[in-house]
A and B are shown apart, each in its own frame.
Chain A
Amino acid sequence: MKDIKKQFPIFQNRQLIYLDSAATSQKPVMVLDAVRAYYESYNANIHRGLYPIAEQATKKVEEVRQKVAKFINARRPEEIIFTKSATEAVNLVMYTWGRENIDQGDIVVTTIMEHHSNFVPWQQLAKEKGAKFHVLDMDENSQISILNFQANINFKKTKIIAITYISNMLGTINPLKELIATVRKENPEIVVIVDAAQAVPHKPVDVQALDCDFLVFSGHKMLAETGIGVLYAKKELLEAMPPFLYGGDMIREVAIEKTTFAGLPNKFEAGTINIAGIVSLGAAIDFLNAIGMDRIQEHEKTLTKYCMEALQNVDGITVFGPRDLLARSGVVSFTIDGIHPHDAAQILGDMNICVRSGHHCTMPLHTRLGVPASTRASFYIYNDEQDIDAFISGIKKVKKIFQSK
Protein backbone atom coordinates (compact mmCIF):
# COMPACT_ATOMS: atom_id res chain seq x y z
CA MET A 1 0.00 0.00 0.00
CA LYS A 2 3.08 2.19 0.23
CA ASP A 3 3.05 3.95 -3.12
CA ILE A 4 -0.68 4.37 -3.43
CA LYS A 5 -0.66 7.97 -2.28
CA LYS A 6 1.44 8.89 -5.31
CA GLN A 7 -1.40 7.87 -7.57
CA PHE A 8 -3.66 10.57 -6.17
CA PRO A 9 -2.78 13.99 -7.63
CA ILE A 10 -4.31 15.85 -4.69
CA PHE A 11 -1.53 14.55 -2.45
CA GLN A 12 1.03 16.50 -4.45
CA ASN A 13 0.06 18.94 -1.74
CA ARG A 14 2.24 17.28 0.85
CA GLN A 15 0.76 19.26 3.69
CA LEU A 16 -2.64 17.70 3.15
CA ILE A 17 -3.66 15.17 5.81
CA TYR A 18 -6.96 13.86 4.49
CA LEU A 19 -8.99 11.95 7.09
CA ASP A 20 -12.49 12.47 5.75
CA SER A 21 -12.98 9.62 3.30
CA ALA A 22 -16.25 8.58 4.93
CA ALA A 23 -17.57 11.87 3.50
CA THR A 24 -15.90 11.51 0.10
CA SER A 25 -12.78 9.82 -1.20
CA GLN A 26 -9.97 11.36 -3.21
CA LYS A 27 -9.57 10.33 -6.86
CA PRO A 28 -6.64 8.44 -8.40
CA VAL A 29 -5.17 9.57 -11.68
CA MET A 30 -6.48 6.39 -13.32
CA VAL A 31 -10.08 7.45 -12.64
CA LEU A 32 -9.46 11.01 -13.78
CA ASP A 33 -7.81 9.72 -16.97
CA ALA A 34 -10.72 7.40 -17.72
CA VAL A 35 -13.19 10.28 -17.53
CA ARG A 36 -10.95 12.45 -19.65
CA ALA A 37 -10.61 9.69 -22.24
CA TYR A 38 -14.38 9.35 -22.41
CA TYR A 39 -14.90 13.08 -23.00
CA GLU A 40 -11.97 13.36 -25.39
CA SER A 41 -12.50 10.30 -27.52
CA TYR A 42 -15.97 8.75 -27.28
CA ASN A 43 -18.34 11.27 -25.71
CA ALA A 44 -21.80 10.47 -27.07
CA ASN A 45 -25.20 9.73 -25.63
CA ILE A 46 -25.87 6.07 -25.07
CA HIS A 47 -28.53 3.87 -26.77
CA ARG A 48 -29.74 4.24 -30.33
CA GLY A 49 -26.74 6.12 -31.69
CA LEU A 50 -25.78 4.32 -34.88
CA TYR A 51 -22.27 5.62 -35.08
CA PRO A 52 -19.08 4.22 -33.58
CA ILE A 53 -18.56 6.51 -30.58
CA ALA A 54 -22.20 6.16 -29.47
CA GLU A 55 -21.84 2.42 -29.68
CA GLN A 56 -18.60 2.63 -27.76
CA ALA A 57 -20.20 4.72 -25.00
CA THR A 58 -23.20 2.35 -24.79
CA LYS A 59 -20.91 -0.63 -24.63
CA LYS A 60 -18.84 1.02 -21.91
CA VAL A 61 -21.88 1.67 -19.71
CA GLU A 62 -22.99 -1.95 -20.01
CA GLU A 63 -19.44 -3.15 -19.31
CA VAL A 64 -19.38 -1.12 -16.12
CA ARG A 65 -22.77 -2.50 -15.15
CA GLN A 66 -21.33 -6.00 -15.45
CA LYS A 67 -18.26 -4.92 -13.53
CA VAL A 68 -20.39 -3.55 -10.69
CA ALA A 69 -22.50 -6.71 -10.67
CA LYS A 70 -19.38 -8.84 -10.40
CA PHE A 71 -17.87 -6.55 -7.75
CA ILE A 72 -20.78 -7.14 -5.36
CA ASN A 73 -21.54 -10.60 -6.74
CA ALA A 74 -25.01 -9.84 -8.11
CA ARG A 75 -26.51 -12.67 -10.18
CA ARG A 76 -27.25 -10.52 -13.21
CA PRO A 77 -26.11 -7.14 -14.56
CA GLU A 78 -29.72 -5.96 -14.92
CA GLU A 79 -29.97 -6.08 -11.13
CA ILE A 80 -27.68 -3.03 -11.11
CA ILE A 81 -29.47 0.31 -11.52
CA PHE A 82 -27.44 3.48 -11.90
CA THR A 83 -28.72 6.41 -9.84
CA LYS A 84 -27.25 9.76 -8.96
CA SER A 85 -26.43 8.76 -5.39
CA ALA A 86 -27.03 6.19 -2.68
CA THR A 87 -29.65 8.58 -1.33
CA GLU A 88 -31.52 8.59 -4.62
CA ALA A 89 -31.35 4.79 -4.65
CA VAL A 90 -33.06 4.58 -1.24
CA ASN A 91 -35.67 7.08 -2.38
CA LEU A 92 -36.25 5.08 -5.55
CA VAL A 93 -37.10 2.03 -3.45
CA MET A 94 -39.26 4.07 -1.08
CA TYR A 95 -41.27 5.74 -3.86
CA THR A 96 -41.78 2.58 -5.93
CA TRP A 97 -41.66 -0.56 -3.79
CA GLY A 98 -42.53 1.29 -0.59
CA ARG A 99 -45.60 3.11 -1.81
CA GLU A 100 -47.00 -0.05 -3.40
CA ASN A 101 -46.35 -2.37 -0.50
CA ILE A 102 -46.67 -0.47 2.76
CA ASP A 103 -50.17 -0.09 4.19
CA GLN A 104 -51.78 1.15 7.34
CA GLY A 105 -50.90 -1.05 10.30
CA ASP A 106 -47.70 -2.41 8.74
CA ILE A 107 -44.39 -1.92 10.52
CA VAL A 108 -41.38 -0.26 8.93
CA VAL A 109 -38.19 -1.05 10.84
CA THR A 110 -34.96 0.90 10.82
CA THR A 111 -32.12 1.40 13.31
CA ILE A 112 -30.84 4.18 15.54
CA MET A 113 -27.50 4.24 13.70
CA GLU A 114 -28.86 4.97 10.22
CA HIS A 115 -27.63 7.86 8.14
CA HIS A 116 -30.55 10.24 7.54
CA SER A 117 -30.73 8.94 3.97
CA ASN A 118 -31.85 5.49 5.17
CA PHE A 119 -33.97 6.92 7.99
CA VAL A 120 -35.98 9.90 6.81
CA PRO A 121 -37.44 8.23 3.65
CA TRP A 122 -38.85 5.37 5.78
CA GLN A 123 -40.05 7.69 8.50
CA GLN A 124 -41.90 9.76 5.91
CA LEU A 125 -43.33 6.72 4.15
CA ALA A 126 -44.65 5.36 7.45
CA LYS A 127 -46.21 8.72 8.18
CA GLU A 128 -47.82 8.89 4.75
CA LYS A 129 -49.23 5.36 4.96
CA GLY A 130 -50.19 5.29 8.62
CA ALA A 131 -47.66 2.51 9.21
CA LYS A 132 -45.68 2.13 12.42
CA PHE A 133 -42.11 3.40 12.30
CA HIS A 134 -39.98 1.26 14.58
CA VAL A 135 -36.41 2.34 15.32
CA LEU A 136 -34.21 -0.44 16.73
CA ASP A 137 -31.70 0.48 19.39
CA MET A 138 -28.12 -0.82 19.36
CA ASP A 139 -26.52 -3.06 21.98
CA GLU A 140 -23.76 -2.19 24.46
CA ASN A 141 -21.15 -2.98 21.81
CA SER A 142 -22.69 -0.32 19.50
CA GLN A 143 -23.98 -3.04 17.18
CA ILE A 144 -27.32 -4.25 15.97
CA SER A 145 -27.29 -7.81 17.28
CA ILE A 146 -29.29 -10.91 16.42
CA LEU A 147 -30.71 -10.93 19.92
CA ASN A 148 -31.84 -7.38 19.41
CA PHE A 149 -33.59 -8.43 16.19
CA GLN A 150 -35.23 -11.46 17.78
CA ALA A 151 -36.42 -9.63 20.88
CA ASN A 152 -37.64 -6.43 19.31
CA ILE A 153 -38.99 -7.01 15.83
CA ASN A 154 -42.59 -7.96 15.29
CA PHE A 155 -41.80 -10.26 12.35
CA LYS A 156 -45.42 -10.87 11.53
CA LYS A 157 -46.33 -7.26 10.85
CA THR A 158 -42.98 -5.96 9.61
CA LYS A 159 -42.80 -5.35 5.87
CA ILE A 160 -39.37 -3.81 5.47
CA ILE A 161 -36.16 -3.50 7.46
CA ALA A 162 -33.78 -0.70 6.51
CA ILE A 163 -30.33 -1.22 7.99
CA THR A 164 -26.81 0.02 7.47
CA TYR A 165 -23.94 -2.38 6.82
CA ILE A 166 -21.38 -0.02 8.36
CA SER A 167 -22.25 3.02 10.46
CA ASN A 168 -20.73 6.22 9.10
CA MET A 169 -20.42 7.57 12.65
CA LEU A 170 -19.66 4.58 14.89
CA GLY A 171 -17.73 2.58 12.33
CA THR A 172 -19.76 -0.46 13.44
CA ILE A 173 -19.89 -3.36 11.03
CA ASN A 174 -23.28 -4.96 11.62
CA PRO A 175 -23.44 -8.77 11.37
CA LEU A 176 -25.68 -8.46 8.33
CA LYS A 177 -25.48 -11.97 7.03
CA GLU A 178 -26.65 -13.41 10.34
CA LEU A 179 -29.25 -10.68 10.81
CA ILE A 180 -30.78 -11.30 7.40
CA ALA A 181 -30.70 -15.07 7.96
CA THR A 182 -32.70 -14.47 11.14
CA VAL A 183 -35.25 -12.42 9.21
CA ARG A 184 -35.59 -15.10 6.53
CA LYS A 185 -36.21 -17.75 9.16
CA GLU A 186 -38.86 -15.68 10.93
CA ASN A 187 -40.67 -14.30 7.91
CA PRO A 188 -39.37 -14.70 4.36
CA GLU A 189 -41.80 -12.03 3.11
CA ILE A 190 -39.90 -9.20 4.82
CA VAL A 191 -37.84 -7.06 2.48
CA VAL A 192 -34.40 -5.90 3.63
CA ILE A 193 -32.71 -2.79 2.26
CA VAL A 194 -29.04 -2.30 3.09
CA ASP A 195 -27.18 1.00 3.12
CA ALA A 196 -23.73 -0.11 1.99
CA ALA A 197 -22.30 3.35 1.26
CA GLN A 198 -19.60 2.83 3.91
CA ALA A 199 -19.12 -0.87 3.13
CA VAL A 200 -18.64 -1.34 -0.61
CA PRO A 201 -15.61 1.01 -0.74
CA HIS A 202 -13.92 -0.69 2.20
CA LYS A 203 -14.58 -4.42 2.29
CA PRO A 204 -15.65 -7.30 0.05
CA VAL A 205 -19.45 -7.23 -0.30
CA ASP A 206 -21.40 -10.20 -1.63
CA VAL A 207 -25.11 -9.53 -2.11
CA GLN A 208 -25.89 -13.20 -2.72
CA ALA A 209 -24.18 -14.29 0.48
CA LEU A 210 -25.94 -11.50 2.38
CA ASP A 211 -29.24 -12.38 0.72
CA CYS A 212 -30.43 -8.77 0.95
CA ASP A 213 -33.25 -7.56 -1.30
CA PHE A 214 -31.94 -4.07 -1.95
CA LEU A 215 -28.48 -2.61 -1.42
CA VAL A 216 -27.31 0.91 -2.18
CA PHE A 217 -23.95 2.64 -2.40
CA SER A 218 -22.34 5.66 -4.01
CA GLY A 219 -19.39 6.07 -6.35
CA HIS A 220 -17.73 9.11 -4.84
CA LYS A 221 -16.85 7.35 -1.60
CA MET A 222 -15.00 4.66 -3.58
CA LEU A 223 -12.66 6.74 -5.76
CA ALA A 224 -15.21 7.56 -8.48
CA GLU A 225 -16.83 10.90 -9.28
CA THR A 226 -19.71 12.51 -7.45
CA GLY A 227 -23.16 12.09 -8.98
CA ILE A 228 -23.10 8.34 -9.50
CA GLY A 229 -24.84 5.88 -7.20
CA VAL A 230 -25.92 2.26 -7.44
CA LEU A 231 -29.05 0.40 -6.52
CA TYR A 232 -28.79 -3.37 -6.41
CA ALA A 233 -32.11 -5.21 -6.24
CA LYS A 234 -33.27 -8.75 -6.80
CA LYS A 235 -34.66 -9.07 -10.30
CA GLU A 236 -38.11 -10.27 -9.21
CA LEU A 237 -38.54 -7.15 -7.09
CA LEU A 238 -37.43 -4.79 -9.84
CA GLU A 239 -39.76 -6.43 -12.32
CA ALA A 240 -42.75 -5.99 -10.04
CA MET A 241 -41.96 -2.40 -9.14
CA PRO A 242 -43.45 0.55 -11.03
CA PRO A 243 -41.02 3.04 -12.61
CA PHE A 244 -39.58 5.79 -10.43
CA LEU A 245 -39.06 8.56 -13.00
CA TYR A 246 -40.79 8.84 -16.36
CA GLY A 247 -39.13 10.09 -19.52
CA GLY A 248 -36.72 9.12 -22.23
CA ASP A 249 -34.87 5.80 -22.25
CA MET A 250 -37.25 4.12 -19.81
CA ILE A 251 -40.02 3.40 -22.34
CA ARG A 252 -40.65 0.66 -24.85
CA GLU A 253 -43.40 2.37 -26.79
CA VAL A 254 -45.25 5.62 -26.37
CA ALA A 255 -48.63 6.46 -27.93
CA ILE A 256 -51.11 9.20 -27.10
CA GLU A 257 -53.29 6.75 -25.18
CA LYS A 258 -50.64 4.80 -23.33
CA THR A 259 -46.99 4.02 -22.67
CA THR A 260 -45.33 0.68 -22.16
CA PHE A 261 -42.15 0.68 -20.16
CA ALA A 262 -38.75 -0.71 -21.01
CA GLY A 263 -37.38 -3.81 -19.37
CA LEU A 264 -34.60 -3.90 -16.80
CA PRO A 265 -32.50 -1.99 -16.11
CA ASN A 266 -33.71 0.83 -18.39
CA LYS A 267 -37.12 1.05 -16.70
CA PHE A 268 -35.36 2.70 -13.77
CA GLU A 269 -32.92 4.85 -15.72
CA ALA A 270 -35.00 7.66 -17.19
CA GLY A 271 -33.19 10.50 -18.94
CA THR A 272 -29.52 10.61 -19.82
CA ILE A 273 -27.72 8.96 -16.96
CA ASN A 274 -24.33 10.06 -15.67
CA ILE A 275 -22.16 8.40 -18.33
CA ALA A 276 -18.92 10.02 -17.20
CA GLY A 277 -19.73 9.02 -13.64
CA ILE A 278 -20.30 5.44 -14.74
CA VAL A 279 -16.98 5.45 -16.62
CA SER A 280 -15.29 6.72 -13.46
CA LEU A 281 -16.94 4.01 -11.37
CA GLY A 282 -15.65 1.34 -13.75
CA ALA A 283 -12.11 2.68 -13.43
CA ALA A 284 -12.46 2.94 -9.65
CA ILE A 285 -13.50 -0.71 -9.42
CA ASP A 286 -10.51 -1.71 -11.54
CA PHE A 287 -8.27 0.27 -9.22
CA LEU A 288 -9.76 -1.30 -6.08
CA ASN A 289 -9.65 -4.80 -7.56
CA ALA A 290 -6.01 -4.37 -8.47
CA ILE A 291 -5.24 -3.78 -4.80
CA GLY A 292 -7.80 -6.31 -3.53
CA MET A 293 -10.69 -5.58 -1.18
CA ASP A 294 -9.32 -7.94 1.48
CA ARG A 295 -6.07 -6.03 1.54
CA ILE A 296 -7.91 -2.73 1.72
CA GLN A 297 -9.91 -3.92 4.69
CA GLU A 298 -6.78 -5.20 6.38
CA HIS A 299 -4.95 -1.92 5.78
CA GLU A 300 -7.78 0.12 7.29
CA LYS A 301 -8.00 -2.23 10.25
CA THR A 302 -4.29 -1.67 10.94
CA LEU A 303 -4.76 2.10 10.76
CA THR A 304 -7.85 2.01 12.97
CA LYS A 305 -6.04 -0.04 15.59
CA TYR A 306 -3.07 2.34 15.47
CA CYS A 307 -5.36 5.36 15.81
CA MET A 308 -7.49 3.91 18.64
CA GLU A 309 -4.38 2.98 20.61
CA ALA A 310 -2.86 6.41 20.13
CA LEU A 311 -6.09 8.12 21.20
CA GLN A 312 -6.19 6.01 24.35
CA ASN A 313 -3.00 7.73 25.46
CA VAL A 314 -4.54 11.19 25.19
CA ASP A 315 -6.51 12.35 28.23
CA GLY A 316 -10.10 13.43 27.94
CA ILE A 317 -10.97 11.66 24.69
CA THR A 318 -14.18 9.66 24.35
CA VAL A 319 -14.25 7.38 21.30
CA PHE A 320 -17.63 6.09 20.12
CA GLY A 321 -18.37 2.74 18.55
CA PRO A 322 -17.28 -0.85 19.15
CA ARG A 323 -14.14 -1.57 21.19
CA ASP A 324 -13.83 -4.84 19.32
CA LEU A 325 -11.74 -4.10 16.24
CA LEU A 326 -13.31 -6.99 14.34
CA ALA A 327 -16.66 -5.21 14.52
CA ARG A 328 -15.19 -1.94 13.35
CA SER A 329 -14.40 -0.18 10.10
CA GLY A 330 -11.98 2.70 9.48
CA VAL A 331 -14.09 5.37 11.14
CA VAL A 332 -13.18 6.93 14.49
CA SER A 333 -15.62 9.44 15.97
CA PHE A 334 -14.83 11.08 19.28
CA THR A 335 -15.27 14.04 21.57
CA ILE A 336 -12.68 15.88 23.65
CA ASP A 337 -13.71 16.94 27.16
CA GLY A 338 -14.47 20.64 27.33
CA ILE A 339 -13.84 21.27 23.64
CA HIS A 340 -16.66 21.53 21.15
CA PRO A 341 -16.19 19.30 18.06
CA HIS A 342 -16.40 22.34 15.80
CA ASP A 343 -13.52 24.00 17.60
CA ALA A 344 -11.46 20.81 17.42
CA ALA A 345 -12.14 20.35 13.70
CA GLN A 346 -11.45 24.02 13.01
CA ILE A 347 -8.05 24.00 14.69
CA LEU A 348 -7.15 20.71 12.98
CA GLY A 349 -8.39 22.19 9.71
CA ASP A 350 -6.15 25.21 10.14
CA MET A 351 -3.29 22.71 10.21
CA ASN A 352 -4.57 21.10 7.00
CA ILE A 353 -5.75 18.03 8.89
CA CYS A 354 -9.11 17.32 7.29
CA VAL A 355 -11.60 15.77 9.69
CA ARG A 356 -15.33 16.37 9.99
CA SER A 357 -17.36 17.63 12.91
CA GLY A 358 -21.07 17.81 13.44
CA HIS A 359 -23.79 15.19 13.52
CA HIS A 360 -22.61 13.39 10.34
CA CYS A 361 -26.23 13.10 9.16
CA THR A 362 -27.01 10.90 12.14
CA MET A 363 -28.96 13.16 14.49
CA PRO A 364 -31.02 10.38 16.14
CA LEU A 365 -27.76 8.53 16.90
CA HIS A 366 -26.16 11.61 18.46
CA THR A 367 -29.28 12.14 20.59
CA ARG A 368 -29.02 8.50 21.68
CA LEU A 369 -25.34 9.01 22.58
CA GLY A 370 -26.19 12.21 24.42
CA VAL A 371 -23.86 14.47 22.47
CA PRO A 372 -24.86 17.26 20.07
CA ALA A 373 -21.92 16.61 17.77
CA SER A 374 -18.69 14.67 17.38
CA THR A 375 -15.43 14.88 15.46
CA ARG A 376 -14.75 12.09 12.97
CA ALA A 377 -11.56 10.83 11.37
CA SER A 378 -11.97 8.23 8.64
CA PHE A 379 -9.39 6.30 6.64
CA TYR A 380 -8.90 4.89 3.19
CA ILE A 381 -6.29 3.19 1.03
CA TYR A 382 -4.08 6.27 0.70
CA ASN A 383 -3.77 6.96 4.43
CA ASP A 384 -0.76 5.84 6.42
CA GLU A 385 0.54 5.91 9.96
CA GLN A 386 2.19 9.30 9.40
CA ASP A 387 -1.27 10.76 8.74
CA ILE A 388 -2.44 9.42 12.08
CA ASP A 389 0.68 10.71 13.84
CA ALA A 390 -0.07 14.17 12.43
CA PHE A 391 -3.68 13.84 13.54
CA ILE A 392 -2.73 12.83 17.09
CA SER A 393 -0.23 15.66 17.42
CA GLY A 394 -2.97 17.95 16.04
CA ILE A 395 -5.33 16.79 18.79
CA LYS A 396 -2.65 17.52 21.36
CA LYS A 397 -2.30 21.00 19.94
CA VAL A 398 -6.06 21.54 20.14
CA LYS A 399 -5.93 20.60 23.79
CA LYS A 400 -2.96 22.88 24.39
CA ILE A 401 -4.73 25.86 22.83
CA PHE A 402 -7.72 25.34 25.07
CA GLN A 403 -5.62 24.77 28.16
CA SER A 404 -3.28 27.71 27.72
CA LYS A 405 -4.13 30.82 29.57
Chain B
Amino acid sequence: MDNYLYREEILDHYKDPHNFGKPHTFDISSMQYNPFCGDEIELFVSTEDDTVRDIHFKGKGCAISLAAASMLTDFAKGKKKTALTKFSQHDMLDLLEIELSETRKKCALLGWAVLQDCLK
Protein backbone atom coordinates (compact mmCIF):
# COMPACT_ATOMS: atom_id res chain seq x y z
CA MET B 1 0.00 0.00 0.00
CA ASP B 2 1.08 3.55 -0.56
CA ASN B 3 0.73 4.92 2.95
CA TYR B 4 4.29 5.57 4.02
CA LEU B 5 3.45 6.27 7.66
CA TYR B 6 2.16 2.75 7.93
CA ARG B 7 5.06 1.22 6.07
CA GLU B 8 5.65 -2.48 6.43
CA GLU B 9 8.24 -2.35 9.19
CA ILE B 10 5.91 -0.29 11.41
CA LEU B 11 2.99 -2.63 10.79
CA ASP B 12 5.17 -5.68 11.43
CA HIS B 13 6.24 -4.32 14.78
CA TYR B 14 2.64 -3.43 15.62
CA LYS B 15 1.23 -6.83 14.77
CA ASP B 16 4.10 -8.81 16.18
CA PRO B 17 5.91 -6.60 18.68
CA HIS B 18 9.42 -7.59 19.73
CA ASN B 19 10.35 -8.04 23.39
CA PHE B 20 6.69 -7.95 24.35
CA GLY B 21 5.43 -9.07 27.75
CA LYS B 22 6.45 -8.76 31.36
CA PRO B 23 9.62 -10.77 32.14
CA HIS B 24 10.01 -12.81 35.37
CA THR B 25 12.90 -10.72 36.55
CA PHE B 26 13.89 -7.14 35.91
CA ASP B 27 15.64 -4.33 37.76
CA ILE B 28 13.71 -1.25 36.81
CA SER B 29 10.21 -0.66 35.48
CA SER B 30 8.14 2.37 34.68
CA MET B 31 4.80 3.09 33.04
CA GLN B 32 3.31 6.09 31.32
CA TYR B 33 -0.11 6.81 30.01
CA ASN B 34 -1.41 9.22 27.42
CA PRO B 35 -4.89 10.17 28.60
CA PHE B 36 -5.78 11.71 25.25
CA CYS B 37 -5.74 8.44 23.37
CA GLY B 38 -5.58 5.92 26.20
CA ASP B 39 -2.20 4.60 25.09
CA GLU B 40 -0.03 3.10 27.78
CA ILE B 41 3.48 1.67 27.70
CA GLU B 42 5.31 -0.10 30.51
CA LEU B 43 9.01 -0.96 30.26
CA PHE B 44 10.98 -3.60 32.18
CA VAL B 45 14.73 -3.15 32.15
CA SER B 46 17.46 -5.50 33.40
CA THR B 47 20.86 -3.93 33.81
CA GLU B 48 24.37 -5.20 34.30
CA ASP B 49 26.79 -2.51 35.44
CA ASP B 50 26.20 0.28 32.95
CA THR B 51 24.59 -1.85 30.27
CA VAL B 52 20.96 -2.60 29.45
CA ARG B 53 21.19 -6.39 29.39
CA ASP B 54 17.56 -7.00 28.59
CA ILE B 55 14.47 -4.89 27.99
CA HIS B 56 10.81 -5.78 27.53
CA PHE B 57 7.62 -3.81 27.24
CA LYS B 58 3.94 -4.25 27.45
CA GLY B 59 1.12 -1.88 26.70
CA LYS B 60 -1.70 -0.96 24.44
CA GLY B 61 -2.13 1.75 21.92
CA CYS B 62 -1.98 2.78 18.32
CA ALA B 63 0.33 1.31 15.71
CA ILE B 64 2.77 4.19 16.04
CA SER B 65 3.17 3.99 19.81
CA LEU B 66 3.47 0.20 19.91
CA ALA B 67 5.79 -0.06 16.92
CA ALA B 68 7.96 2.71 18.35
CA ALA B 69 8.22 0.93 21.69
CA SER B 70 9.03 -2.34 19.98
CA MET B 71 11.75 -0.77 17.84
CA LEU B 72 13.12 1.07 20.86
CA THR B 73 13.53 -2.14 22.86
CA ASP B 74 15.45 -3.70 19.96
CA PHE B 75 17.64 -0.64 19.78
CA ALA B 76 18.28 -0.30 23.52
CA LYS B 77 19.24 -3.90 24.19
CA GLY B 78 22.99 -4.16 24.87
CA LYS B 79 23.51 -0.39 24.83
CA LYS B 80 25.24 1.57 27.58
CA LYS B 81 22.85 3.39 29.91
CA THR B 82 24.89 6.58 29.53
CA ALA B 83 24.53 6.36 25.76
CA LEU B 84 20.78 5.83 26.06
CA THR B 85 20.26 8.87 28.27
CA LYS B 86 21.74 10.88 25.41
CA PHE B 87 19.34 9.27 22.95
CA SER B 88 17.15 12.29 22.17
CA GLN B 89 13.57 12.70 21.03
CA HIS B 90 14.98 13.58 17.66
CA ASP B 91 17.00 10.36 17.58
CA MET B 92 13.87 8.39 18.45
CA LEU B 93 11.93 9.94 15.58
CA ASP B 94 14.86 9.20 13.26
CA LEU B 95 14.78 5.58 14.35
CA LEU B 96 11.20 5.30 13.08
CA GLU B 97 12.06 6.81 9.70
CA ILE B 98 8.61 8.32 9.28
CA GLU B 99 7.34 11.89 9.12
CA LEU B 100 4.95 12.57 11.98
CA SER B 101 2.63 15.44 12.77
CA GLU B 102 2.99 17.09 16.19
CA THR B 103 -0.02 15.16 17.49
CA ARG B 104 1.35 11.80 16.43
CA LYS B 105 4.86 12.57 17.76
CA LYS B 106 3.37 12.08 21.22
CA CYS B 107 2.50 8.51 20.24
CA ALA B 108 5.98 7.86 18.89
CA LEU B 109 7.67 9.28 21.99
CA LEU B 110 5.63 7.53 24.68
CA GLY B 111 8.01 4.53 24.94
CA TRP B 112 11.00 6.82 24.70
CA ALA B 113 9.71 8.86 27.68
CA VAL B 114 9.26 5.68 29.72
CA LEU B 115 12.80 4.57 28.92
CA GLN B 116 14.22 7.93 29.98
CA ASP B 117 12.27 7.58 33.20
CA CYS B 118 13.78 4.11 33.79
CA LEU B 119 17.28 5.47 33.28
CA LYS B 120 16.92 8.29 35.78
Residues of A bordering B, CB below 8 Å: 339-343, 346-347, 350, 357-359, 363, 366, 371-373, 397, 400-402, 404-405
Contact = CB atoms under 8 A, between A and B. Distances in A.
B79 interface: no
Contacts of A339: 63
A342 B11 contact: no
A404 B1 contact: yes
Contacts of A401: 1, 3, 6, 11
Given A347-B6, A358-B36, A359-B36, A342 B62 contact: yes
B12 A343 contact: no
B27 to A, nearest CB: 30
Contacts of B6: 343, 347, 401-402
Nearest to B63: A343
Interface in B4-51: 5-6, 8, 11-12, 15, 35-39
Given A401-B6, A405-B11, A405-B15, 12 more contacts: A339-B63, A340-B39, A340-B63, A343-B6, A343-B63, A343-B64, A347-B3, A347-B6, A371-B38, A372-B37, A397-B1, A405-B12
B78 interface: no
Contacts of B62: 340-343
A317 B104 CA distance: 23
Interface of B: 1, 3, 5-6, 8, 11-12, 15, 35-39, 60-64, 104, 107
Contacts of A350: 3, 5
A358 B36 CA distance: 7
Contacts of B35: 363
B91 to A, nearest CB: 23
9 contacts: A339-B63, A340-B39, A342-B37, A343-B6, A346-B5, A358-B37, A363-B35, A401-B3, A402-B11
Contacts of B38: 359, 366, 371-373
Contacts of B64: 342-343
Given A343-B64, A347-B6, A402-B11, A373 B37 contact: yes
Contacts of A363: 35
Nearest to A366: B38
B14 to A, nearest CB: 8
Contacts of A359: 36, 38
B3 A340 contact: no
Give 6 nearest A-B pairs by CB, closest first. A372-B38, A340-B62, A342-B62, A343-B63, A401-B1, A343-B62
A363 to B, nearest CB: 8
Nearest to B66: A340
A359 B38 CA distance: 9
B34 to A, nearest CB: 9
Contacts of B104: 342, 346
A359 B64 CA distance: 18
A321 B5 CA distance: 31
A346 B11 CA distance: 14
B37 A340 contact: yes
Contacts of B63: 339-340, 343, 402
Contacts of A341: 37, 62
A243 to B, nearest CB: 35
A402 B13 CA distance: 12
Contacts of B60: 372
Contacts of B15: 402, 405
Nearest to A347: B3
B41 to A, nearest CB: 13
Contacts of A372: 37-39, 60
Nearest to A357: B37
A357 B37 CA distance: 8
Contacts of B5: 346-347, 350
A397 B79 CA distance: 39
A342 B1 CA distance: 18
B3 to A, nearest CB: 6
Contacts of A397: 1
Nearest to A372: B38
Contacts of A371: 38
A83 to B, nearest CB: 26
Contacts of A404: 1, 11
